[in-house]
Amino acid sequence: MKIFGNDEAPKLVFSEQELSELEPEQVKLDAPHPLLWLDIETTGLDPREDQIFEVAMVKTDDDLNVLEELQIVLGDTLEWVTLGKVKPEVLKMHVDNGLLLEARASSVRSEEAKWKIIKFLTDDYSQSGSFWEPVKKYTLAGSSVHFDKSFVLAKWPGLASYFDYRIVDVSTLRELGKRWLPAYSLPEWDESEHRALSDIHRSIEILRFWRGELYG
């Protein structure tokens, strides 16, 4: 073992032989950020112009067991329906899946939704300004979750401090499977219901499959 650096910040460097002789509990790697599954339903595809109808988040452990869930339907998005800013096909989809009916019954507005999310994300917190300081960051997971992240940060930019820059995109595994394993018998998963929480559970199910196939 060698020590490099100055007296204030020494660094320990082990040889390969020394590392092989260490007991497993003696080698500690940085713990990965917890997985936070995210899915939203929106009035359209442009985070600068469109609004969020529904947001859901699910925390899972490293074995993809569900730990905690959050689902919020925003009532103030109905104003966009009244103003005729929602495309007919999107409106029909959310009528058929029951989301529009739930939005009519919801009294939750954007500001309240933001604080519900912050409370969900924060285990131990201290107040700083208008936001709570996060004690840990989450790695976002989901299907094409970059889309959901872009909407959440456009609507509630202060939530950025809770998210790690990495993401786990289940869609990537599905697309690579189609290209690199064309003869492989992939399961037929149910189609998306375009409801945030059920779509998250569908994405978790898909990742459980790929975990078993790739990492055994």
Cβ proximity of 207 and 141 under 8 Å: yes
Active-site residue, 165 included? yes
Interatomic CA distance for residues 121 and 159, integer angstroms = 9
Q: Among the options 138, 165, 184, 215, which is catalytic?
A: 165
Determine the Cα angle at 98 with ends 92 and 99, to 5°.
85
C-alpha torsion angle, residues 186, 192, 193, 196 (rounded to 10): 120
Select from 64, 32, 56, 75 the least CA-distant residue to 209: 64
3-class SS at 215? helix
Burial class (CB in 10 A: 0-12, 13-18, 19+), 162: buried
List active site positions: 165
